[in-house]
Structure formats: structure tokens, C-alpha cells
Amino acid sequence: MSQLNNAAPSLDAYWMPFTANRRFKADPRFLARASGMYYYTETGREVLDGTSGLWCVNAGHCRPTIAKAIADQAATLDYATAFNMGHPKAFEFADRLSKITPDGLDHIFFTNSGSEAVETTLKIALAYHRARGKGTKTRLIGRDRGYHGVNFGGISVGGMTKNRMYFGALLGGVDHLPHTHDPVRNGFARGQPQHGAELADELERIVALHDASNIAAVIVEPLAGSTGVLPPPVGYLQRLRKICDKHDILLIFDEVITGFGRLGAAFASQRFGVTPDLMTMAKGITNAAVPMGGVAVSDKVHDTLIEGAESPIELFHGYTYSGHPLACAAGLATLDIYRDEGLFDRVRTLEPVWEEAVHSLDDAPHVIDVRNFGLTAGIELASRPGAPSIRAMEAFERAFDQGVLIRVSGDTIALSPPLIVETGQIERIVGAVRNVLEQVA
């Protein structure tokens, strides 16, 4: 298109990500502005945000201190290359982050998204073993139903089949642990399910198959989010940690969703009492106001790589926008809000209320399972015969029409409101879900 000013833009040009493009463009839903717990449509209709955008606006929308920090930064230092150059806020932000990351994970590598954070962890894991003279340790272990973003490393270790199925050229040398969803034994569990710790032992089978000398790392989401909210069975993460230690395998937690208070602690690692060697973060890192991701790296891995490096540049990896000034400014203002408003602890206070509310849907039409942990919930619906995920999609559309934003993944409705949510708003979100479930066929 050579026209620069097109008064009424066509919807054709924008290929929307992870979207039913034709369905959306036939009946578009536009968000025009947002504040606190609410979005507003172009016609000024209020939509209660039951999903924190996409699991990312943890402190609520359009927080003035974050907006100001970004504006001030844009007018002061818009961009600084991070390659052999520094700007103060990147160091300040990494330092602040390292104080809330799990003990011993004190080094922060910046990326621009969760997907890039995942790729970064995989590369660091391989580089770490190589730096120790264990260059045969290259195999990566993910998990069925895992989501680790959309880049080739992430979809290779990931286990969301549709995200992998079109792309032949995945990484070689990847195995998958089984997922932990077991509705027969754990149906309608409140909090962590009781059964399934032994599923971690599958790692022993993979080690026996390939030998530990060939395995670099295991990557899992401490609570699987994208696939429809699967909290870890009691003892499962502890068991994974133990087996990894036994075989000198690095454990990577992908905390893109679970980080920044979602589970009632800064990170899921702290809530579950299991410390990984590498940890991703993104989304809530800037309250989603500027794209950013990062990796927290253990002292052991960091020091080995930095001290064992073969060349002055210790790791040949980084992004044009690593540690972008606007993102760092937004991130610092975000951490201030989390601290000043005690939002991570607030989740612990809300959790019983939340759990009670979402499990009031246990007997709602079509519901075959309800799961919750922290400020997340998965409400799994029976598939409509011959039309998987359509019922949930219809529920999403109807809920939006009724002024509540929910998220669907396959046949599961996922809820994850901002951490500032009030009790009355929890009731409204859950009430809207029940209402639409009574309406959809």
C-alpha cells in the first residue's frame, strides 16, 4: 500500500497473533483505553479484566507512576545500546530484581519477551556445561502440555501440540516428561493436587535411556498456565529438583506467568520452596507497559560461565533492546508498586476467597474440572462433540458482551485477574462465567 493516510483503515493488513482472524474481523472487539481493573471499549463500555490482559498487567491498568516513569525516560534517554555500553537504570533494575528473585539467583539477563527469555535459558544451559568441559550434555527435557513461547527452542521443548505441529525443523535431542493433569485422581482439587509426584520419576527413565552425560537441562512451568492452569502435584517439583541434582542436570523454571506475585510470592519457586538453576520472567516484570523479559541465573552457572569463558565476550547472545531504558524505567516503577501495595502478600489473603468463588462453578453446566492456585483458575468444559474448544470460545465472546474479559485455552477457561482485584469483582467475574455457561449450548 502506498497510501499513508487511510481514513477508515481496513482490517486486512494486520495479521493478528494467535487469533481466529476471520472470526474476529467479522465481528471485531476493540479496546480503547484501560484503568485499574477495567478496559473500556470504543463506545465507552466497561469490561472487567479477569485475565490481567494476558497474565501480565498484575498491578492493574495505566498506573500513573509507571506511565510517568516511561514518559520521563523517553524524554531523557530513549535508547542505549546494551552491547559494551551501559545506562544506569539497567544496572539498577537488575539489582532490584536480584533482591526479589530466589536466593542464589542473583544475575539477570534482559530480553524483550518470555519467548526470548526461554531461548536464553536453553543457550545458557548448554554454554554452562560446555564451559565445564561437559560438552556432551546437550539434550533438553521439556514436558507435555508445556508452553515456552513461540520460538524454535521454546516450541521444541514445549508440549502444546498445535504450536509445534506445522514446523518440521524442531530442535533435535529433546524429550518430554508427561504432563501432570489427572482429573480422575485429582478432579476439582483445591490448590495443589495430591496425586502425581511420582510423574517426576519419568525423568529417571529418560536419564536411563540417554545417560546423564548427554542431558543438559529440564525446563518446566512450576504451574502450567497457558495449557489451562495445572498446579504442580504436592511434592512433584521437589522430586524433579532431586533427580536433576543427582544427575548434574540444570533445572529451569519458566516463570513468565507465575512470576511477580501471581502465586502469592514474588516467584513460584519461593511459594513451592524449590529453587531452580535458571528462571525466566516477563509479563508482570513491567506490568506489561513496555515489553520486557529476563532470565535469573544462579551464581553457580553465572560464575562458571563468566570465569570459564574462552573469549572476552563470555556469551555470544543478546538483543538490540536488551535492558531497554523505557522497559527498565517501567520495571522500576512497577517494583515500587508491588512493594508499596504489598501485592504479592495480597494474593495470599485473597486466595481462600478466590478458591471458594471459583469452586462455586464446580456444578455449573458443562464444567468437568475446576483448578486453582494463587490468583489463577482453570475451569475445564466438556468438549462439544465434533467441535473442540468452540463452547469455550462462545463463552469468551458472551462474557465480553456482558462486560467481563476471560481467557480460553482449548476447552478451558483461564482466569487470572490483576492482583488488585476486590472481592466484589471476583464475584462479578465468577458470576459472569456461570451466567454464560448457562447460556451456551
Contact footprint for ligand PLP (CB under 6 A): 319-321
Least Cβ distance, residue 112 to ligand PLP (angstroms): 7
Q: Residues 335, 292: contact at Cβ < 8 Å?
A: no
- How far CA 131 is from CA of 104, 146, 174, 317, in Å, comes to 20, 28, 21, 15
In angstroms, rounded to a whole number, what is the distance separating the alpha carbons of residues 330 and 68?
A: 9
Instruction: Pull the grid cell for residue 108.
Output: 539477570
Least Cβ distance, residue 294 to ligand PXG (angstroms): 11
Interaction partner, residue 392 (ligand PXG, ligand PLP, none; CB < 5-8 Å by kind): none
Least Cβ distance, residue 292 to ligand PLP (angstroms): 13
Residue placing its CB nearer to ligand PXG in the complex, 118 or 413: 118
Residue placing its CB nearer to ligand PLP in the complex, 320 or 423: 320
Interaction partner, residue 194 (ligand PLP, ligand PXG, none; CB < 5-8 Å by kind): none
Residue in this structure with the C-alpha cell 471476583, named with its chain if needed: 426
Q: Is 157 left (phi over 0), alpha (psi -120 to 50) or beta?
A: alpha
Q: Specify the 3-state DSSP secondary structure of 198.
A: helix
Interaction partner, residue 409 (ligand PXG, ligand PLP, none; CB < 5-8 Å by kind): ligand PXG
Interaction partner, residue 253 (ligand PXG, ligand PLP, none; CB < 5-8 Å by kind): none
Q: Specify the 3-state DSSP secondary structure of 110.
A: strand
Residue placing its CB nearer to ligand PXG in the complex, 256 or 305: 256
Interaction partner, residue 320 (ligand PLP, ligand PXG, none; CB < 5-8 Å by kind): ligand PLP
Residues that bind ligand PXG (CB under 6 A): 54-55, 113-115, 118, 147-149, 221, 225-226, 254, 256-257, 282, 293, 407, 409, 414
In angstroms, rounded to a whole number, what is the distance separating the alpha carbons of residues 373 and 375?
A: 6
In angstroms, rounded to a whole number, what is the distance separating the alpha carbons of residues 199 and 188?
A: 19
Least Cβ distance, residue 44 to ligand PXG (angstroms): 27
Quickly list H helices, 283-366. Answer: 299-307, 325-340, 343-359
Residue placing its CB nearer to ligand PXG in the complex, 217 or 414: 414
